[in-house]
Amino acid sequence: MSTTESGFTWRSQSAFVVVAAGATLSLNDFLTFPVLAGQNGGGAFLLLYIFFLFALGLPLLMNELMLGRLTRTDPAASLRTLSDQYKASVYWKLAGLSAMLAAFLIIATFSVIAGWSLAYSFK
């Protein structure tokens, strides 16, 4: 990443794609997906999972990327800026803060799981 007047920018598009893919694929997906697929029908579950991944996940990802590109800030600041600009409800500001809180809680949870994995690997 490089610094410009408006904030941080990615040096190349491929670096952004790699980081976005790494952030999207979480440890939880790798741990629970085989169990979910086995318990819920195998191939049929996989087809429905892929369908809903694209039907729900892709529009949400595109929305988040467009908000970030438009405001060049974090999710909480971008929703605060846009809600002030368009005189929207205060709940949009709370949505940005709750997104940041959810990300913090997910990172805290995965840090514990990563610690367990490291402890197990050295036993």
Q: For the chain, what are the domain ranges?
A: 73-123
- Give me the pLDDT at residue 23, please: 67
Average pLDDT over residues 30-36: 81
- Give me the pLDDT at residue 101, please: 92
Residue-wise pLDDT for 37-86, tens only, equals 889 888 898 899 889 989 998 898 888 888 888 888 888 888 888 888 89
DSSP string of 66-108? HHHHHH-S-HHHHHHHHHHHTT--THHHHHHHHHHHHHHHHHH
CA separation for the pair 19, 78 (Å, rounded): 20
- Give me the pLDDT at residue 1, please: 56
- Give me the pLDDT at residue 30, please: 73
User: Quick check: 2 pLDDT over 60?
Assistant: no
Backbone dihedral angles phi then psi of residue 73, each to the nearest 5 degrees: -140, 180
Q: What is the pTM of this model?
A: 0.57
User: Quick check: 122 pLDDT over 80?
Assistant: yes
At a CB cut-off of 8 Å and minimum separation 6, what does 13 contact? none
What is the percent of the chain with per-residue pLDDT over 70, rounded to a whole number? Answer: 88
User: Quick check: 4 pLDDT over 60?
Assistant: no
CA separation for the pair 15, 9 (Å, rounded): 11
**b/e burial code for range 67-103 (CB count within 10 A of at least 16 → b):** beeebebbbbebbbbbbeeeeeeeeebeebeebeeee
Structure tokens at 100: 């940041």
CA separation for the pair 100, 106 (Å, rounded): 10
